[in-house]
A and B are shown apart, each in its own frame.
Chain A
Amino acid sequence: MMRSFRRSLSLALLGVAASAGAAWADLTGAQEFVERESDYALQVLSDDALALADKQERFRDFVDRVADVDRISRFVLGKYRNAGTPEEIAEFKVLFREYAIGIYEEQLGRYNGEGASLKTAVPRGKDEYIVTTIVDGGALEEPVEVNWRVSERGGEYRVLDVEAFGIWLAIQQKDDFEAFIGQNGRSISALNDELRRRLSENRGGAAQMSVANGDMPKAGSGSHNN
């Protein structure tokens, strides 16, 4: 009896130790992911030899590789994520990606030499991590703490949300979109119309025009559903 109890306890402790080791490894992985990708982003931003158009192209690749655009797209629809038709949701994902990239793309030419360094990382839930970095220098009067919400699935890390000054970007976006949909007949298609209008109003280029002209992927294609 006592022997089997000890054996069970040993196995349990081994299990805890193994899972703690795995969590530590994942935590380090999340840290390395943020460090690697933020170094890459800063390198692109600070490369004076790159034309703005090249920076924008690399930024688009960067967003697709680093951010979980599919999950973010569903999240920002909030309580209306199941309200639209599959076609409307598929169209929204394309428009949202363009819209979100467009917001930050405008800032790419305004880099002033800011740098980032890793501060801490903590686990969140069963497959997420919050990685904290300190952004300093450049045009900043004082260091700013930036939190990255990173998910890990199958050994692959993706950013879900980013926070500075208490503002989580995806949550702020969700509150905005949710309210807009609520005020416009709870219609995803009204949101799509507005995003399309803003894209065609504010930006040119072939990618935007194809979106503005309704050149959308068929529902279910383009991005996978988790």
Chain B
Amino acid sequence: MLAVGAALAASGCASTKQVEAARETNERIYDPLEPVNRQMFRVHTVLDTVVLEPLAKGYRAVTPKQARTSVRNFLNNAASPAVFINNVLQGDIEGAGVTLARFGINTTFGILGLFDPAAEEGLELRWEDFGQTLAVWGVDNGPFLYVPVLGPTTTRDMVGRGVDSFASPYRFVEFDNEDSWRTGQAILNGIDQRAALIEPLDELERTALDLYAAQRSFYYSLRDDQTANGEQDFEDLPEFD
């Protein structure tokens, strides 16, 4: 909270020109809170440099690749109920069937989801979340947000995250140390996701002139691609002239 307050105060010092430029948005990106977001980005960059990236690199250094794949499989499998609900909410009955079959196969033959035999049978993971469901329903991204630790997101996707957390299987099963388990899973998920982004983020850092804007653009593109399930409408691309 302190960091947010400090950033808000600092953003008040941004030059008028910078604020005006920030308010001008392009067709794809809506970032009315850009001065604040840029401060949040700076806070995040410090946290990332000091904590998140070293953790991700350490995780990669001490675990064999197969172990990391199993961790990812396990986390994906645990998210299956949320993916299933979103399949249904998007009216994708075929996708819901695939998610259900994957959950059944991977929880049993895949030993609690540590392995992904379903993918070998052609039932590949197609990630869906409530942010994407809202997009399918026609809800716009809303203002772009940069949240320290979480990174770039949009208002719609933040709402989506909150809703998805209610569909976690641990909400429906009671067991000892439930909170510790849930926290541990969230931390592991964060480290795993950051580890997967080591190369792309390094590449952005190497090539970008404005790293904040480059990450923002990267986020919008990835999310658009996820929502379209890789089936882009090429007519929506911006014209060159």
Q: In the bound complex, how far is the Cα of B208 from the Cα of A195, in angstroms?
A: 11
A79 pairs with B230, CB closer than 8 A: no
Supposing A124-B234, A186-B21 touch, asked if A175 and B214 sit within 8 A by C-beta, the answer is: yes
B235 within 8 A of A: yes
Asked whether A124 and B237 contact (CB < 8 A) given A78-B26, A180-B209, the answer is yes
Query: CB distance A166 to B221 under 8 Å?
Result: yes
Give every chain A residue within 8 A of B221 (Cβ-Cβ): 166-168, 171-172
Q: Does A109 contact B (CB under 8 A)?
A: no
Complex: how many Å from CA A103 to CA B204?
11
Distance (whole angstroms) from the CB of A159 to the closest CB of chain B: 11
Closest Cβ of chain A to B207, distance in Å, is: 5
Roughly how many angstroms separate A138 CA and B225 CA in the complex, as a whole number? 25
Q: How far is the CB of B237 from chain A (nearest CB, A)?
A: 7
B-facing residues in A178-221 (Cβ within 8 Å): 178-180, 182-183, 185-186, 191, 194-195, 198
Does B59 sit at the interface, judged by CB under 8 A?
Answer: no
A67 to B209, CA, bound (A): 22
Give the interface of A toward B (CB within 8 A): 71-72, 74-75, 78-79, 103, 122, 124-125, 130, 145, 147, 149, 151, 160-161, 165-168, 171-172, 174-180, 182-183, 185-186, 191, 194-195, 198, 226
Given contacts A165-B222, A177-B209, contact A226 B22 (CB under 8 A): no
A122→B17 contact, CB < 8 A: no
B18/A183 in contact, CB under 8 A: yes
Contact call A175/B216, Cβ cutoff below 8 A: yes
Measured between beta carbons, the chain A residues less than 8 angstroms from B208 are 176
Specify which of A74, A179, A180, A198 lies most central, judged by the most chain B CB atoms within 10 Å of its CB: A179
Contact partners of B29 in chain A: CB under 8 A: 175
Closest-CB distance, B118 to chain A (whole angstroms): 16
B212 and A226: CB pair below 8 A?
no
Residues A151 and B240 in contact, CB atoms below 8 Å apart: yes
Q: A172 and B240: CB pair below 8 A? A: no
Assess the A194–B209 pair: CB atoms within 8 A. yes
Asked, given contacts A79-B24, A175-B29, whether A167 binds B222 with beta carbons under 8 Å apart, the answer is yes
A contact residues around B216 at 8 Å (CB)? 175, 179
Query: A168 CB to closest chain B CB, in angstroms?
Result: 7
Q: Which of A167, A180, A186 contacts B213 (CB 8 A)?
A: A180
Chain B residues contacting A194 (CB-CB under 8 Å) are 209
Bound-state CA distance A180–B26 (Å) is: 13
A124 to B224, alpha carbons, bound, how many Å? 19
What CA separation (Å) do A98 and B200 show in the bound complex? 22
Q: Which listed residue (B21, B226, B239) contacts A182, Cβ 8 A?
A: B21
Q: Are A180 and B210 in contact (CB under 8 A)?
A: yes
State in angstroms the CA–CA spacing of A145 and B21 once bound together: 36
**Within the assembled complex, what's the spacing in Å between the Cα atoms of A73 and B35?**
28
- Chain A residues with CB under 8 Å of B210's CB are 176, 179-180, 183
* A198 CB contacts on chain B under 8 angstroms: 209
Which residues of chain B are within 8 angstroms of A180 by Cβ–Cβ distance? 209-210, 213
Tell me whether B108 is interfacial, beta carbon within 8 Å. no
A30 CB, min distance to chain B CBs, angstroms: 13
Contact sample, A vs B, 8 pairs, CB 8 Å cutoff: A125-B239, A166-B222, A166-B225, A167-B222, A172-B214, A175-B216, A179-B212, A182-B18
Instruction: Convert B73-104 into 0s and 1s, putting 1 for each residue whose CB lies closer than 8 angstroms to a CB of A.
Output: 00000000000000000000000000000000
Residue of A149, A165, A195, A226 most packed against chain B (CB within 10 A): A165
With both beta carbons as reference points, the residue of chain B lying nearest to A202 in the complex is identified as B206
Residue numbers in B under 8 Å from A175 (CB-CB): 26, 28-29, 213-214, 216-217
CA distance A172 to B222 in the complex (A): 11
